Each structure stands twice: as C-alpha cells, then as structure tokens.
Chains A and B, each alone.
Chain A
C-alpha cells in the first residue's frame, strides 16, 4: 500500500515538474508550444498508464 502511495506522489511531482519544464521551453522559444504540449501529453499518458498498471499489480 505504501509503495503505491509513494509511486503516485512521485509521479504527480514528475508531472508537475514536466509542466514547469514545458512552460520554460515555450517561454524561451526553444520549440513550438504545440509540439511541446503534444510531447508532454505522450509522456504523461505513459506515466499515468505505468502508475495505474503497477498499482493494480501491486495491490492485487
């Protein structure tokens, strides 16, 4: 149970840091905003799927 709690907390922190990172890249005009947010969405989907799958396996 505590493993899942920790995993969710770390994942949320990673996703929040990702938003900060994407906003910084957009502000500095490193890449187009649409491309960066699309990349973020792909990464976020991977993270959320991984967390859900791992949590389900660990708790079951």
Chain B
C-alpha cells in the first residue's frame, strides 16, 4: 500500500540521484584540470590568492564524494547539508561577482575565468533549484533505495512512530 511517506521517499530518491549526478559530473569535469579550476576560483576574487590552489583541488574532490554519497544514499542528510552549504557558497560567489560588476564564467562544470557574456541570473536560478532539492533531502529524513535504510535501520525511527506534532510539521505541512 502506498503511503505519503512512500511518495516522499520516491521523490527523495529522484532528487538524490539527480543532485548526486550533478555534483559527480561537476567534480569529474574539474578534477583533471586543477590549473583551470584555480583560474576560475581566482576570477571570483573572494578567496585569498594563496588559498586558490588548495581550494581548486579540494572542491572537485568534495563534489565527487558528495555526489557518490547522494547516489548511494549513504549519510544522505549529512551529505545534503554539506551540498546545501556548498551551493550556498556558489550562490554567494556568483551573486557577489554580479554585484561587483565582474565579468566571469562561473566555472561550475570546468572552465571559468573572464567571460564576455556571464550568465549570472541563469546560474543563480539553477543553483537555487539545486539548493531546494538539497533542503528537501535534509527535511524528508528518508528516501527510497538508500544504503542508510540498510545500515541504520535501528537508528532511524519509522515514520509511523513519529509524534503527532512531528507528523504535522513534516515538510512544513498542515501547521
């Protein structure tokens, strides 16, 4: 029998896989080209100059790890929190470059640096959409076909055992 929790779980699975593949592909696109990623990072003029090389290496690795965790459904909510923070930092980077009048490419999937035709609005809206998915994964607690469900079966309380107030506030519904 299909319940509301089942439906939310399947939606969560779709969001997890989508966001996971986005992060995995973004990380894999940047990983072999640290010099270009470093140039993209410097284009934002946000981080200290000396930190750019380390960030250019660490960020793609983090994206790949988060992508794999989301796809597998392992430590899903922690991965979703980290993903949301990463997306917030990307949004702040893009919008601050926009506010300062810089002309750069976001470098989200490789490339980056100076650009004659930056797409700040499109990049921001896209990242906001992905942020919404990450927030959903944080709030929904359980998704379908996740390794979490196998490994932490006892730790996570089943939906039916939630308190009444919890059911009412789940995903901000009802109240």
Contacts and interface: CB of A to CB of B under 8 A. Distances in A.
A47 B88 CA distance: 9
B92 A43 contact: no
Q: How large is the interface on B (under 10, 10 to 19, 20 to 34, 35 or more residues)?
A: 20 to 34
A23 to B, nearest CB: 11
Nearest to B162: A28
Contacts of A47: 85, 88
Contacts of B138: 21
Q: How large is the interface on A (under 10, 10 to 19, 20 to 34, 35 or more residues)?
A: 10 to 19
Interface stretch (B15-23, B62-70, B93-101): B93-101
Nearest to B93: A54
Contacts of B100: 57-58
Contacts of B46: 53-54, 57
Given A3-B99, A30-B157, A39-B81, A54 B169 contact: no
Contact of A3 (B85, B96, B165): B96
Given A43-B85, A46-B85, A54-B92, A30 B156 contact: yes
Binding site secondary structure of chain B: helix
Contacts, number: 41
Interface string B10-48: 000000000000000000000000000000000001100
Contacts of A24: 166, 169
Contacts of B162: 28
Instruction: In the A-B complex, list the 7 residue pairs whose CB atoms are closest, starting with the nearest.
Output: A3-B99, A28-B166, A54-B96, A54-B92, A57-B46, A58-B96, A46-B85
A43 B134 CA distance: 15
A57 B163 contact: no
